[in-house]
Amino acid sequence: MPTFSPASGAGPSMSVDAHLERVLAGVAPLGRVEQVPLADASGRLLAASVDARVDLPGFDNSAMDGYAVRRADVATGTPLHPVVLDVVADVPAGSDADPIIGPGQAARIMTGAPIPDGTDAVVPIEQTDGGTARVSIGAVPQAGHHIRHRGEDLHAGDRLLEAGVVLDARRIAAAAAAGLADLPVAVPPRVAVVATGSELVEPGGPLARGRIHDSNSLLLAALVAEAGGVVSERLRLPDDPELLRDWIGGREPCDLVVFAGGISVGAHDVVRHVLADLGTVDFARVAMQPGKPQAFGTLPGGTPVFGLPGNPVSVAVSFEAFVRPALQRLLGRHDVLRPTWPVVVETGWHSPARRRQYMPIALTVRHGRVLVHPASPGGAGSHLAARLAAADGFAIVPEHVVEVAAGDLVEVVVTR
Ligand code: AMP
Ligand code: MG
């Protein structure tokens, strides 16, 4: 097995913000747009603002099951002396009937049915005797009571959704209600994820001495999908520079490549070795924990490439800090970082000086208050792959903080 001289590729010390700036300068929005049916739009990024096609509601309609009346007719009704009206029409939802309701008359009407001309209020069935030929009404409705008015939600031509939002159930439903059948969305970036390490075995495969199951390729593939990308290839490569070079040369077309493992200063860190030879990849020791060694640059042909450290927690943190923002930029999003929220610390922990710490955390609610504690009682150990399963996100502890104490506020990014 080839070995390489250490250290040369380790790169200069750098802040998280400086490395992120370098990453974001190296990726541009792909600008590819496709039109998709609403049923396929969940999770996609809206590429252009869209307006309502129809008024919402499209016509004045009843908000209750009851009787459409002329208010003047029932103005004298009381529970003891109800007014009696002739029921001359029955208007269920979906009915295109357009009955004329004259003085002394009412229409039985159901929720969502169009309000007949001449009527100006709906009396809920509960305030009547429920009659079908004649109805007794002992309550006086206010003008327009229980009528939903045309356009009160939105008018045709009004802005419905702004470009750049992620389509979710509520936005897709609003688009359907407003008359749209499909939406323009960003074509997702294609991302190749490559786990490297001669110790890696496929998930579930038999483990010889020194071997481990590859979790990083699955972690990265799922993170890419969660961030709005599609995985063009997911593979494992041993620490063999020839195989790595071959893969780089013959890879499927993609918009981003993410390597995990092999970028540090170890004797078999082939990703560092091979990428350093290209001359188009920067290596840095980023002032963060975990995730210190980082690589970013381009492959021949100009495809942006990340080299992330191989410990699973480092992969998850590096993805959150650098890869996810790059993917958001490729997608065309303006806000590439997730929001952080200040949360009260339940049980404290240590943080290294002069490094930004990304602590996997879990959230709990106690006595009506949201509290945060490390997801793993063992702390930030970057190899603790199984403990990642308990994490709701990361606490981001600033560089100058060395002690996070119970009762402190920390900024938390929620990843669930
Ligand atoms: P490296 O960055 O290659 O030095 O790897 C750091 C640590 O992460 C080592 O303990 C590796 O065995 C482990 N590791 C590397 N790749 C993976 C992977 N795909 N899945 C799980 N653990 C990994
Ligand atoms: Mg390795």
Q: Write out pLDDT tens, residues 287-329.
A: 999 999 999 999 999 999 999 999 999 999 999 999 999 999 9
- Residues in contact with 353: Cβ distance below 8 Å, sequence separation at least 6, in sequence order: 399, 400, 402
Query: Could you give the residue range(s) of every CATH 2.170.190.11 domain in the chain?
Result: 61-148
Residue 200: CB within 6 Å of ligand 1?
Answer: yes
Residue 291: CB within 6 Å of ligand 1?
Answer: no
For residue 286, what are the β-bridge partners? 14
Residue 214: CB within 6 Å of ligand 1?
Answer: yes
Could you say which ligand is closest to the alpha carbon of residue 211? 1
The helix (H) or strand (E) run that includes residue 312 is helix 312-318
pLDDT band with cut points at 50, 70 and 90 for residue 266: confident
Asked if the model's pLDDT at residue 7 lies above 50, the reply is no
Could you say which ligand is closest to the alpha carbon of residue 308? 1
Residue 121: CB within 6 Å of ligand 1?
Answer: no
Choosing among 3.90.105.10, 3.90.1150.10, 3.30.420.40, 3.40.50.300, the CATH entry for 33-56+152-186 is: 3.90.105.10
Distance 313 CA to ligand 1 centre (A): 10
Query: To which CATH superfamily is domain 341-414 assigned?
Result: MoeA, C-terminal, domain IV (2.40.340.10)
Residue 197: CB within 6 Å of ligand 1?
Answer: yes
- Per residue in 196-245, pLDDT (tens digit) is 999 999 999 999 999 999 999 999 999 999 999 999 999 999 999 999 99
Asked if the model's pLDDT at residue 9 lies above 70, the reply is no
CA atoms within 13 A on the CB side of 64: 18
CB 337 within 8 A of CB 409: no
Query: Could you give the residue range(s) of every CATH 3.40.980.10 domain in the chain?
Result: 3-32+187-331
Compute the distance between CA of residue 61 and CA of residue 284 in angstroms, rounded to an integer. Answer: 64
Q: State which ligand 1 atom lies nearest to the alpha carbon of 269.
A: 3
For the record, the structure tokens of 390 come out as 């308990």
Compute the distance between CA of residue 58 and CA of residue 113 in angstroms, rounded to an integer. Answer: 11
* Nearest residue (CA) to ligand 1, atom 12: 199
Could you say which ligand is closest to the alpha carbon of residue 294? 1
- What is the per-residue pLDDT for 378? 66
CB 124 within 8 A of CB 66: yes
Task: Give whole-number Cα distances, 390 to 361, 364, 374, 384, 386, in Å.
Answer: 8, 12, 9, 11, 8
Instruction: Classify domain 61-148 at the CATH topology level.
Output: Molybdopterin biosynthesis moeA protein; domain 3 (2.170.190)
Query: Could you give the residue range(s) of every CATH 2.40.340.10 domain in the chain?
Result: 341-414
Distance 229 CA to ligand 2 centre (A): 26
Distance 271 CA to ligand 2 centre (A): 9
pTM recorded for the entire structure: 0.88
Choosing among 3.10.129.10, 3.30.70.260, 3.40.980.10, 3.30.365.10, the CATH entry for 3-32+187-331 is: 3.40.980.10
Query: Could you give the residue range(s) of every CATH 3.90.105.10 domain in the chain?
Result: 33-56+152-186
Distance 14 CA to ligand 1 centre (A): 23
- Per residue in 92-142, pLDDT (tens digit) is 999 999 999 999 999 999 999 999 999 999 999 999 999 999 999 998 888
Is the preceding omega at residue 290 within 30 degrees of 0, hence cis? Answer: yes
- What is the DSSP pairing of strand 281-286 with strand 293-298? antiparallel
Q: State which ligand 1 atom lies nearest to the alpha carbon of 199.
A: 12
- What is the per-residue pLDDT for 353? 95
Residue 310: CB within 6 Å of ligand 1?
Answer: yes
Asked if the model's pLDDT at residue 5 lies above 70, the reply is no
Residue 357: CB within 6 Å of ligand 1?
Answer: no
Best mutation site among 1, 4, 216 for ligand 1 pocket (most ligand atoms within 8 Å of CB): 216
Compute the distance between CA of residue 47 and CA of residue 177 in angstroms, rounded to an integer. Answer: 20
- What is the per-residue pLDDT for 141? 87
Distance 265 CA to ligand 2 centre (A): 10
Could you say which ligand is closest to the alpha carbon of residue 388? 1
Residue 229: CB within 6 Å of ligand 1?
Answer: no
CB 187 within 8 A of CB 255: no
Residue 261: CB within 6 Å of ligand 1?
Answer: yes
Q: Report which of 179, 169, 225 is spatially closest to residue 39, judged by C-alpha positions.
A: 169
- What is the per-residue pLDDT for 3? 55
The mean of the pLDDT values for the chain is: 94
- Per residue in 346-389, pLDDT (tens digit) is 999 999 999 999 999 999 999 999 999 999 876 667 777 778 89
- What is the per-residue pLDDT for 265? 86
CB 308 within 8 A of CB 314: yes
